[in-house]
Amino acid sequence: MRALLTGSTGRLGGAFLSLWGDKEQAAGYDLQVVTRQDCDLSRPDDVRRFLRSVDFDVLVNPAAMTGIEQCLDAPGLAQAVNAESPRVMAEVCREKGARLVHFSTDYVFSGESAGRKAEGDPVGAVNVYGATKLAGERAVIDTSAGALVCRVSWLFGPTAPDRLSHLDHVLERALAGEIQHLIADKYSVPTFTHDIVEWVDVLLAANASGVYHLCNAGEPESWLSYAQKVCALAQRLGRNLGDVRLCGTSLEDAGFFREKRPIHTAMLPARLQSEDLAHPRHWLEAAEVYLKIR
Ligand SMILES: NC(=O)c1ccc[n+]([C@@H]2O[C@H](COP(=O)([O-])OP(=O)(O)OC[C@H]3O[C@@H](n4cnc5c(N)ncnc54)[C@H](OP(=O)(O)O)[C@@H]3O)[C@@H](O)[C@H]2O)c1
């Protein structure tokens, strides 16, 4: 299958590149990478022209404007990258009879009520990033009934040094002996990027379409509890982190952010499970695999 991949320099795109780009493990994908230079998602007309000029069977789109404050400062750009270009991708895929795998986020939920959210639960973004990603989901689904929209959260996995995850930052700061002040009142579920690639493989093979939550199993974690569990795991695996100093703070007191964050956005991979496509492992089990290759 000829696969076209955007966002290959990112956390999730990098996982597709390393797993599908590796001929040994590529599971039948002939992968072509699309860089920002080939196809700038801030220019939907250029995206249309570029996509019409290449042949592919599946387009995988993890590229996005992901900086929350960046989206607040440039909402028009965020709308173009996160919503208008995905709509164009869905249009061209429909024209060509190709599949689109588009990625979205747990930030489409308002996060007002606790508990893990299933695909059918009500959405309602509270910030520009979430609103543009939600608009992207809707544009993709409305344009191409066969498209897949995969919502993911709190990614970790091998990545470039300038795109480290919370897990990596926590371990680096712990090794440096820093005191870490981490938010204890905002919740989601960490997810291993390599597991997401595997689930997408399964979804494509099953000809699945619509919205799927692709996340590992486990109860909602805060940034603090996530860090505590990762440090304990690393120590159990023999990493000498020294005296780990993690302190809880609240979103309100932290004062890190200019843009609003939703509180309870942990997702449940309900469709993966109920359709018997996959039964995601606990995120700590996946984190153990990651720590062993890190
Ligand atoms: N990271 C998370 O924890 C998380 C949580 C929830 C949802 N998600 C969703 O998961 C997906 C992947 O996220 P990620 O963390 O892998 O993102 P990321 O690390 O921030 O990478 C974003 C990718 O998008 C590309 N990109 C950005 N603007 C572009 C443009 N105008 N034209 C072309 N390419 C552009 C970047 O390319 P450059 O290298 O050229 O900048 C980069 O490859 C996104 O849809 C995101 O919304 C992520």
Indicate whether 152 belongs to any domain. yes
Residue range 151-188, pLDDT digits in tens: 999 999 999 999 999 999 999 999 999 999 999 999 99
- What does the pLDDT average to over 8-22? 95
In a domain, 108, yes or no: yes
Predicted TM-score (pTM) above 0.85: yes
Domain at 127, CATH number: 3.40.50.720
String of DSSP letters for 12-31 = HHHHHHHHHSSTTT-TT-EE
Q: For the chain, what is the domain count?
A: 1
Which residue's C-alpha comes closest to atom 43 of ligand 1? 7
Please report, for residues 80, 126, 127, the alpha-carbon distance to residue 259 in angstroms, rounded to integers and kept in the order given.
Answer: 19, 9, 7
Q: Does 167 fall in a domain?
A: no
Counting atoms of ligand 1 from 1, which one is nearest the CA of 129?
A: 47
Q: Whose CA is nearest to atom 34 of ligand 1?
A: 36
- Using the mean position of ligand 1's atoms as its centre, give its distance from the Cα of residue 7 in Å: 6
Among 4, 12, 106, the mutation site with the greatest number of ligand 1 atoms within 8 A of its Cβ is 12
Ligand 1: centre distance to CA 163 (Å): 10
- pLDDT band at 28; cut points 50, 70, 90: confident
What confidence tens digit (pLDDT) does each residue in 75-118 have?
999 999 999 999 999 999 999 999 999 999 999 999 999 999 99
User: Ligand 1 centroid to 279 CA: how many Å?
Assistant: 26
Q: Is residue 75 part of a domain?
A: yes
What are the backbone angles phi and psi of residue 134, rounded to the nearest 5°? -65, -40
Contact 11, 105 (CB under 8 A): no
pLDDT value of position 123: 98
- Residue of the nearest CA to atom 17 in ligand 1? 10
Residues with Cβ within 8 Å of 125's Cβ and at least 6 positions away in sequence, in order, are 107, 108, 109, 110, 131, 133, 134, 262
Ligand 1 mutation target, pool 35, 51, 66, 211, most atoms within 8 A of CB: 66
Domain for residue 283, yes or no? no
Rg of the chain on CA atoms, in Å = 19
In a domain, 74, yes or no: yes
Query: Chain centroid to CA 34: how far?
Result: 18
Within a domain: 172: no
Is the residue at 256 inside a domain?
no
What percent of the chain is modeled with pLDDT above 70?
A: 98
State pLDDT tens for residues 252-276: 888 889 999 999 999 999 999 999 9
Atom 40 of ligand 1, residue of closest alpha carbon: 36
Query: Which residue range is the domain that position 38 belongs to?
Result: 2-160+191-219+267-274
